[in-house]
Structure 1
């Protein structure tokens, strides 16, 4: 890995690496519907969301940026289709529910810090490491990080919407290296997704760490030292070199 002094930039995934949703998405959608007098099972909404999200992502990748869509409109369409697939067809309800949920997922109350996130970021900064975000997220991410008390840790926040490329596309990592002003071998990426985070970062020549939750298996090409059982393990691994 090389000693701490040789590592100048750490880039971070956000969702399920630093922040996670406070409750399953289906519960949030069901609560929004219930507040408007409509009862839908959370499990049905979770299934519908997965289908709507997958279909819209295939048709309009990366929030429809190349097709001229705004990420806001992209999300409103996904939420509306989620409710339609779950059996809610009242047009007078669909638009206000979609708008409300889009706003809710910008707020700190929708997100919780993963254990060790704030402390690990603070320690990395204290050791003089430059840090950035590389995330397949839309332009709400800056505000979410600020409201959750994390934005100040990062020199830059690079979303796939802004970059015009989504992980595992190497271009988003190359853009992050340019923003960080470092060579690939001077940088490491931390994330929870093997293909989008670990493999993609390694393929551009960066170091990488894969966050594993209890019970998750580790792919065979990930050395044990690169698999983190918790964020708090990161500094010890970096300092070992």
Structure 2
């Protein structure tokens, strides 16, 4: 039986196509310095990890199921981060959190990987349509536009918009509906073994794992051609028969 021809490639974004340019501690400290505060980036990083972990556990996926949204969730995380670092002025905390929420929409806070644009263009030149499936809040469209990536995609699905986050299969099912084809005609590329590779494959999508830093055991990815050290490997792999 002949395999179905590939029609779509779905993409994760953060740490697949782009990454945060500086550490959270550095970026938060820069904003705090504008407000006259002098904080230690290492301490702020540690406080951020603590606040982020707490809110992710208590209010998963930006607290969508508990009446929150991306803006209110991130505002609370930022406030808690600075509170843990000794900042107690409520007006100052509000200003810092609002400024940082909007700052992270800007291209200067994100670094597009060197291979991203070339490979997106390469996939399109193969006649493939592209979409995004990302555990991100609703700033993603603005971020992709500011990084000159948005025009490559026919649609975006964020976990905030979808109401569910990877590795839930529901977010991939929403993507398949937008694609309008069977899972066998769709590939997905991402850097997370469970959220991207395993969950997409569970639905019959051709999952590709991007492993830039060799974090994963090669035997964990089957077929072996679906493990990528660089996005530049992808277009040729997509032209081979899909296992």
TM-score above 0.5 = yes
The equivalent residue for 1:16 is: 15
The equivalent residue for 1:69 is: 68
Q: Does 1:85 align with 2:84?
A: yes
Secondary structure in structure 2 of the residue aligned to 1:47: helix
Shift of 1:130: 1.2
Q: Does 1:227 align with 2:198?
A: no
Q: Please tell me the root mean square deviation across aligned C-alpha atoms, in Å.
A: 1.7
Contact 2:11/2:134 (CA < 8 Å) preserved in 1? yes
Shift of 1:90: 2.2
Shift of 1:101: 0.5
Contact 1:4/1:238 (CA < 8 Å) preserved in 2? no
The equivalent residue for 1:153 is: 152
Q: After superposition, what is the alpha-carbon deviation per residue over 1:13-66, rounded to whole angstroms, capped at 9, x for unaligned? A: 000000111111110011111221212111111111111111111211111111
Which structure 1 residue ranges, 4+ long, deviate > 2 Å from structure 2? 2-5, 214-221
Shift of 1:70: 2.3
Measured in 2, the distance between the counterparts of 1:151 and 1:72 equals 21
Secondary structure in structure 2 of the residue aligned to 1:240: coil
Shift of 1:87: 2.1
Q: Which segments of 5 or more consecutive residues in structure 1 lack a partner in the other structure?
A: none
Contact 1:136/1:161 (CA < 8 Å) preserved in 2? yes
Measured in 1, the distance between the counterparts of 2:3 and 2:220 equals 23
Contact 2:4/2:184 (CA < 8 Å) preserved in 1? no
Measured in 2, the distance between the counterparts of 1:240 and 1:189 equals 15
Secondary structure in structure 2 of the residue aligned to 1:6: coil
The equivalent residue for 1:162 is: 161
Q: Does 1:103 align with 2:105?
A: no
Secondary structure in structure 2 of the residue aligned to 1:32: helix
The equivalent residue for 1:119 is: 118
Contact 2:9/2:129 (CA < 8 Å) preserved in 1? yes
The equivalent residue for 1:240 is: 240
Secondary structure in structure 1 of the residue aligned to 2:119: helix
Shift of 1:3: 9.5
Secondary structure in structure 1 of the residue aligned to 2:19: strand
Shift of 1:94: 0.8
The equivalent residue for 1:184 is: 183
Measured in 1, the distance between the counterparts of 2:176 and 2:78 equals 34
Measured in 2, the distance between the counterparts of 1:172 and 1:23 equals 29
The equivalent residue for 1:173 is: 172
Shift of 1:114: 0.8
The equivalent residue for 1:128 is: 127
Q: Which segments of 5 or more consecutive residues in structure 2 lack a partner in the other structure?
A: none
Measured in 2, the distance between the counterparts of 1:5 and 1:207 equals 11
Contact 1:65/1:161 (CA < 8 Å) preserved in 2? yes
